């Protein structure tokens, strides 16, 4: 932690640092950073297992979403797996090439694509699920099941709070209360 900081108020760096005082809270304690760090701490536990099966986090999300339904349209899948259209489009192309999913156009509406998981996809899920569940159980045990449920509830409440909040548009930067 002992960082050599040759800094006085007149050392190297930009001259005249008096203007540095901008009144903002310590950004490392900001909500976005807290959420980012917490999520990273969680995902760090899962990534090695997924990587061992040649799966990214997003690919795993898609497979799991598909495993829960018979078929699903792309737009609905994007909402379920919480991915944007372009990302989903690319990943589905790859998963289809790996024959982990199947895709066909909807009969009623030729614009829509209907996706489903393949037998290979189900096999892959069955292969990954045990270690994934074990990791989740370990996290739950370490943090506390009650505490974890409480956290999830707060996260859902936060999400719900903000969903009703309209986003400040550009052009009038200071017109948001």
CB of 53 to a second copy, least distance (A): 8
145: contact with a second copy by CB under 8 A: no
DSSP characters for 23-50? ----GGGSHHHHHHHHHHHHHHHHHHHH
Binding mask 89-118 for DNA (x = CB under 7 A): xxxxxx--------x-----xxxxx-----
Which of a second copy, DNA, none does residue 98 bind to, with CB < 5 to 8 Å depending on kind?
A: none
φ, ψ of residue 174 in degrees (nearest 5): -105, 20
Name the strand (E) or helix (H) holding 65: helix 57-67
Asked if residue 86 binds DNA (CB under 7 A), the reply is yes
90 vs 154 by CB, closer to a second copy: 154
Residues 6 or more apart whose Cβ sits within 8 Å of residue 96 = 102, 103
By CB under 7 A, name the one of 75, 119, 133, 134 that touches DNA. 75
């Amino acid at each position: 932690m002992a960082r050599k900081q040759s800094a006085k108020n007149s050392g190297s760096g930009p001259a005249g640092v008096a203007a540095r005082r901008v009144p903002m809270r310590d950004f490392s304690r900001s909500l976005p950073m807290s959420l980012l760090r917490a999520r990273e701490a969680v995902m760090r536990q899962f990534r090695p297992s997924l990587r061992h099966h040649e799966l990214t986090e997003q690919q795993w999300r898609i497979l799991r979403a598909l495993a829960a339904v018979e078929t699903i349209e792309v737009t609905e899948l994007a909402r379920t797996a919480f991915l944007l259209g372009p990302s989903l489009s690319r990943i589905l192309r790859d998963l289809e090439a790996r024959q982990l999913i199947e895709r066909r156009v909807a009969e009623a509406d030729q614009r829509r694509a209907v996706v489903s998981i393949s037998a290979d996809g189900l096999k892959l899920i069955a292969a990954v699920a045990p270690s994934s569940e074990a990791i989740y159980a370990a996290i739950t045990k370490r943090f506390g099941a009650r505490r974890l449920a409480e956290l999830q509830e707060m996260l859902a409440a936060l999400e719900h709070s903000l969903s009703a909040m309209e986003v400040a548009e550009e052009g009038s930067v200071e017109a948001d209360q």
